[in-house]
Amino acid sequence: MNSIRDDDLVLYHYRDGLTAGELAAIGQALRESAPLRARYAVLCATLQAVDAQPAATADAGLEQRLWQRWEEQTGSDGVPDRRHADTLRGAGRVRHRAGARPLLRHAATALAVVAALGVGFLIGRQPAGPQAPTPKPDVAAVGKSELSSRVLDAYVAAHLRETEGVVLTAVNSDSAALLAGNRELAAGLIDSNRLYAQAAARAGNARLANFLQQLEPLLIELANPAGTASVQSSDGLRDYVDKTDLLFQLRATQARIEPQRPTTI
């Protein structure tokens, strides 16, 4: 091999992706060349630094939670077989198709929000107070209310996931092209954020409504940064995200409202 690139050294390190001849040539070059050995030492130190990181450990309750949920999920299962696989793969395909059609998804979102707002509005217009007799719970009305609440939760959870992605990209990315795309995504989230906040307020979920209202200035800032993606502005955003625990709040709110999803393989 005439010139040994760093990428070749990576493959050499893992003894993978190179022919026996190439491996031998790099081994020979390493024995003969001090500069190459120095480069290889840097690679090894880099990978050792990764190895030195402690593996993630879960809390003591992990097993209990896993098996409890496993029992719940498989309680009605008989002998394991392939029928489940087809069902699961089918569910995965449905979701995949939904993901591949953003226009359809947006239309569905808009319809769901309008429906949730409508139900919330109608509920808000119902007379309340001591004069309204409530001898029996109206099962149908409760069902509609729960349904609209679940629809709203599902769309807000998806909205929060997108917001989290936008924040992560804004904080972590240095790519101008990526940040430009990210600004567009943030701009697209502002209106839906406002709608969801209103719908949550109408549905009586003040906590969620407040949280969404707090997100709006951030989304506006992400959509219209003061200057180009300068180091200062990204540092400022990073500080803000760290200090306010924003990512944690986003994930916690998602986890709180997200409906149970079916599993896929």
Partner 1 sequence: MTVDDERVSKARQGDREAFRRLVEGETRPLYAVAARITRDPGLAEDAVQEALLNAWRHLGDFDGRANFRTWLHRITVNAALEQLRKRSGREQFLADAGNADGAEDFLAAHADELPGPEQLAGGGEIGRQVQQQLERMTHLERSAFVLRHHEGQSLEEICGVLAINVSACKQAIFRAVRKLRGALEPLR
Residues making contact with partner 1 (CB under 8 A): 5-7, 9-11, 14, 16-17, 35, 37-43, 45-53, 55-58, 62-63, 65-67, 69-70, 73-74, 77-82, 84-85, 88, 99, 161, 165, 169, 172-173, 175, 177-178, 181, 251, 255, 263-265
Q: Based on CB atoms, which residue is closest to partner 1, 78 or 129?
A: 78
Q: Which is nearer to partner 1, 221 or 258 (CB)?
A: 258
Beta carbon nearer to partner 1, 65 or 207: 65
Query: Does residue 3 sit in helix, strand or coil?
Result: coil
Token couple for 229 = 């993606």
In the chain, alpha helices (H): 6-14, 20-32, 34-51, 62-74, 83-99, 102-125, 139-172, 176-202, 206-223, 231-244, 246-257
Identity of the residue, 6 or 235, whose beta carbon is nearer to partner 1 in the bound complex: 6
Nearer to partner 1, 31 or 82 (CB): 82
In whole angstroms, the minimum distance from the beta carbon of 118 to partner 1 comes to 29
Is residue 73 within 8 A of residue 119, CB to CB? The reply is no
Tokens of 47: 């990978």
Burial class (CB in 10 A: 0-12, 13-18, 19+), 176: exposed
CB of residue 224 to partner 1, shortest distance in Å: 21
Q: How far is the CB of 96 from partner 1 (least distance, A)?
A: 9
In the complex, the smallest distance separating the C-beta of residue 58 from partner 1, rounded to whole angstroms, is: 5
Query: What contacts 13, CB < 8 A, 6 or more positions away?
Result: 40, 43, 44, 47
